[in-house]
Amino acid sequence: MTLRVGAHTSIAGGVHNAVEEQREYSGNCGQIFSHSPQVWQDPNIDDENATQFREKSTDNGIHPWVIHSSYLVNLCTPKDDLREKSIDSMQTEVDAADLLDIEYVNVHLGAHTGAGVEQGLDNAASALDALDIPDGVTVLVESDAGSGTKLGGDFEHLAAVLDRSEQDLDVCLDTAHAFAAGYDLSTATGVEETITEFDDVVGLEHLACVHLNDSKHECGTNKDEHAHIGEGRIGEAGMRAFVNHEAIRDVPLVLETPTENGKSFAWNIERVAELRA
């Protein structure tokens, strides 16, 4: 079983540069934004850059890739204008993934902002159903830290959207988000219980990707701030148990760890490799 671990890399200067950056970190899978995630903007990827990205990824054995959707997307929103913008933005993302031969597009469900949990989940499922998703591209619903009216903190939210949508969806589990939402991953027992619950509620067959991040905050605080692998509140014991769990061993691990204290993505990727038995 090959360890698939990589980082979120930049497309500055052209999307093909993300592959070169991934190589510098010794990653063999990865994630990108197709544009700035803080503005409503369409991807600006020309055919030449797309060809370079595809060829370099293949030549260097870097796969799979994930496109992370804009932070502005809110699938749960009851507001018609924001809903339409979110659907339009997601359509450009799945089309960009198709152009780049990227397998996954990752998205947070967003916040129901007072509409209620059930209505928010219905809104998310129907927004996803409005997409024309190309063959070979799968949308991943990401687990959330669960603050405020944001949905996706409970595994039941993820399962509900997968059940209510007509699309063939899968899930990206973020370890820092799950921990913040109350799933204790800091011990081998906690990891086993969390993965068992995920399987019971969502189904491990839907776990397509993991955002592997430690957490700067305690379990159940709903605070989303990532830490270096093994150096946060999940800690070394929890991370070791997680990356070595049989259900995780073939799942690609994408890091969104910070660059601070002299430690970068390269350090964190090496750390994951060390923890993997």
Phi-psi region of 171 (alpha: psi -120 to 50; beta: other; left: phi over 0): beta
The answer to whether residues 62 and 29 touch, using CB atoms and an 8 Å cutoff, is: yes
> DSSP label at 143?
P
pTM of the model: 0.97
Q: Which helix (H) or strand (E) holds 98?
A: helix 80-100
The answer to whether residues 213 and 255 touch, using CB atoms and an 8 Å cutoff, is: yes
Question: What is the chain's pLDDT, residue by residue, as a tens digit (277 residues)?
Answer: 589 999 999 999 999 999 999 999 999 999 999 999 999 999 989 999 999 999 999 999 999 999 999 999 999 999 999 999 999 999 999 999 999 999 999 999 999 999 999 999 999 999 999 999 999 999 999 999 999 999 999 999 999 999 999 999 999 999 999 999 999 999 999 999 999 999 999 999 999 999 999 999 999 999 999 999 999 999 999 999 999 999 999 999 999 999 999 999 999 999 999 999 7
Token pair, residue 45, equals 């990827």
pLDDT at 10: 96
For the chain, the domains span: 5-275
Token pair, residue 17, equals 């540069």
The answer to whether residues 213 and 226 touch, using CB atoms and an 8 Å cutoff, is: yes
pLDDT at 120: 98
| CB environment 158-180: b (16+ within 10 A), e (fewer) | bbbbbeebeeebbbbbbbbbbbb
Token pair, residue 255, equals 């890091």
Residue 226 pairs in a beta bridge with 215
The answer to whether residues 150 and 116 touch, using CB atoms and an 8 Å cutoff, is: no
pLDDT at 44: 86
d(C-alpha 181, C-alpha 196), whole Å: 16
Q: How far apart, in Å, are the Cα atoms of 252 and each of 39, 49, 172, 228, 247?
A: 28, 24, 10, 18, 11
The answer to whether residues 228 and 271 touch, using CB atoms and an 8 Å cutoff, is: yes
Q: With 0-12 CB in 10 A as exposed, 13-18 as middle and 19+ as buried, what is 69?
A: buried
CB proximity list for 209: less than 8 A, separation 6 or greater: 64, 66, 104, 106, 140, 170, 172, 173, 251, 252, 254
* CATH code for the structural domain at 5-275: 3.20.20.150
Residue 211 pairs in a beta bridge with 174, 254
Q: Which helix (H) or strand (E) holds 171?
A: strand 170-174
The answer to whether residues 129 and 165 touch, using CB atoms and an 8 Å cutoff, is: yes
